[in-house]
């Protein structure tokens, strides 16, 4: 599950007006200044709420190393001062009909410069230095947590969140006294608007490497 949770932070943001962003050369001052301007525009465009418009699938691993699907829906919020909040609902099925757990993460984004994968992409570290919370949504998942993550926690109960921030949490590979951090990228290109009545949005789409779009909420 931890692989899928980490991968859910990998966002390729699809927005208006940034398709011409170019890779920046550290040896060229005008280009470096241009990169700073691009990052500032990305940050401005990102402000707000973003939601999955369909269940997504992520790769994760079984204990024996074999691959298994990790189904989820995301609600991502980019806030001023490079703060973010991410709410993930993990499901047992590809349609999101059987939710297992809700994971809430919050913290800061550190912008680390141009990413070589594509011109205009930016390297970003997502650091959960404010909140990391887990809520079991199914009795079976609560039972598992009570077996493998009981030390230092109250009994796990369906729909009752518990903070795992700064604590050891074996199911997700978290170590005591450390903040979860994901090394990812942000990429902006083009625009796609949708009427999407099911979630009442006018949309600019966010895409990841392997997932359907996320939709910006109005």
- Interval 16-44: pLDDT, tens: 222 222 223 344 444 555 556 678 888 88
Cα 93 from Cα 166, distance rounded (Å)? 30
Q: What is the pLDDT of residue 30?
A: 46
- Rounded to 10 degrees, the C-alpha dihedral 168/50/57/172 comes to 0
- Rounded to 10 degrees, the C-alpha dihedral 30/35/38/44 comes to -120
Q: Are 84 and 126 contacting, i.e. CB atoms less than 8 angstroms apart?
A: yes
Q: What is the pLDDT of residue 68?
A: 85
Cα 106 from Cα 119, distance rounded (Å)? 28
Cα 52 from Cα 205, distance rounded (Å)? 9
What is the mean predicted confidence (pLDDT) over 63-77?
87
Cα 24 from Cα 112, distance rounded (Å)? 12
The token duo for 205 is 């789409």
What's the whole-model pTM score? 0.71
Higher per-residue confidence, 35 vs 11: 35
Q: Are 185 and 115 contacting, i.e. CB atoms less than 8 angstroms apart?
A: yes
What is the mean predicted confidence (pLDDT) over 166-176?
92
pLDDT at 175 over 80: yes
Q: Within 13 Å, how many C-alpha atoms sit on residue 211's CB side?
A: 32
Alpha carbon of 30 to those of 25, 26, 94, 171: distances in Å?
A: 9, 10, 47, 47
On the 0-12 / 13-18 / 19+ scale of CB atoms within 10 A, 81 is: exposed
* H or E element, residue 45: helix 29-46
């Amino acid at each position: 599950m931890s692989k899928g949770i980490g991968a859910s932070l990998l966002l390729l943001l699809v927005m208006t007006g940034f398709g011409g962003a170019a890779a920046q050369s550290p040896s060229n001052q005008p280009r470096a200044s241009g990169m700073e301007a691009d990052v500032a525009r990305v940050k401005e465009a990102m402000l707000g709420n973003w939601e999955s418009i369909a269940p997504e699938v992520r790769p994760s691993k079984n204990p024996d190393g074999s691959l298994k699907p990790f189904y989820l829906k995301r609600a991502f919020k980019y806030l001023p001062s490079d703060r973010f909040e991410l709410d993930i609902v993990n499901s047992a099925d590809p349609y999101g009909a059987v939710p297992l757990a809700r994971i809430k993460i919050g913290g800061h984004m550190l912008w680390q410069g141009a990413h070589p994968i594509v011109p205009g992409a930016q390297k970003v570290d997502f650091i959960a230095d404010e909140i990391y919370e887990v809520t079991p949504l199914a009795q079976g998942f609560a039972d598992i947590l009570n077996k493998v993550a009981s030390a230092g926690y109250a009994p796990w109960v369906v729909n009752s969140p518990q903070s795992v921030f700064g604590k050891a949490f074996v199911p997700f590979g978290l170590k005591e006294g450390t903040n979860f951090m994901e090394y990812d990228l942000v990429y902006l290109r083009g625009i796609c608007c949708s009427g999407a009545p099911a979630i009442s949005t006018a949309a600019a789409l966010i895409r990841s490497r392997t997932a359907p779009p996320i939709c910006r909420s109005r």
